[in-house]
Amino acid sequence: MLTTETPIQKLSFSLYDGLGVDVLMKRDDLIHPFISGNKWRKLKYNLRQAKSDGKDTVLTFGGAYSNHLIATACACASNNFKSIGVVRGDELGVNANHVLRLCAEYGMELRFVSRSAYKDKDQLIQEFTQDHIYAVPEGGDNALGSLGCEEILPQDIEIDHIVVPVGTGTTFVGLINAHGKRITIHGIAALNQAEYLIPKIEKGTKNRNWILHTEYAFGGFGKFDQEQLQFNQRFASETGVLLDPVYTGKMMRSLPMLLEKEGVKPGQRILCVHTGGLTGVLTPQWLNAPL
């Protein structure tokens, strides 16, 4: 069952007590167990375009633990498409981890390529795409992906600040396009030195009421420390909301620092977007870390 009418939850969390603001969360992690958060938002119009173009197969890309891959596999199976996943790492196989195994169970044909070959996506698209295949960029990173992300929040929402994790910038651009004329949109970059995303974001939107924060990656993409582990555990135990360690966990951990840095006024309403991706809590690195 897939629903895009997900709730906005007011958070009660001890580490936010005393901030003087209302912290809310858009629970897009509840859309679906695997097609969750911004994954469905970014796939919605791409799948619609694939159908309009008369394609029967969707080709996309991802790493060994890609939330986008499992979301695409499941979404395609649910919408009468075949799927092909090009996976970074030719030493991997279907049973390399739970994500790839689930992709295969949903019928996705996995094609493993070397890390060097994976860097040239245009060449891979040319190599693998045929007349019946529709190609979706890694992470759903295209204009149709951003269009879907414009629908995350209602247009008339009364919020002072929106905060969202940023990987490719696709979701960030969608939120800026939808709300950036009257609401400040804050993007929390999951990668170190993510300033390179700024020209891409500027190209994707005419609105200027946004800030990309590049200082809260806490070690870099896919990395976490003991403090992150303890933060996520405390957050889940107090709110009932699971966070992934790569995107939403770092966003929520950075929130007090962000509010102080930006001088957010007491009484304002801050809405954080949960972008799903909870298969990240099942990686060996996370599972084996001591609480």
Query: Domain locations in the chain?
Result: 8-34+142-287, 38-140
Domain spanning 8-34+142-287, CATH architecture: 3-Layer(aba) Sandwich (3.40)
Domain spanning 38-140, CATH architecture: 3-Layer(aba) Sandwich (3.40)
Percent of the chain with pLDDT over 70: 100
Give me the phi and psi of 146, to 5 degrees please: -65, -35
**105-129 tens-digit pLDDT:** 999 999 999 999 999 999 999 999 8
The ranges of the chain with pLDDT < 50 are none
Cα 158 to chain centroid distance, Å, stands at: 23
Give the model's pLDDT for residue 2.
78
Nearest of 11, 150, 154, 34 to residue 99 by alpha carbon: 34
Buried b (16+ CB within 10 A) or exposed e, 146-156: bbbbbebbeee
Give the model's pLDDT for residue 4.
82
Give the model's pLDDT for residue 279.
85
Token reading at 235: 């957050």
Do residues 187 and 209 make contact, with C-beta atoms less than 8 angstroms apart? no
Nearby residues of 170 by Cβ (< 8 Å), 6 or more positions away: 38, 42, 139, 140, 141, 142, 145, 146, 149
**183-234 tens-digit pLDDT:** 999 999 999 999 999 999 999 999 999 999 999 999 888 788 889 999 999 9
What gap in Å lies between CA 227 and CA 232, rounded to an integer? 9
The reply to whether 8-34+142-287 and 38-140 are identical in fold is yes
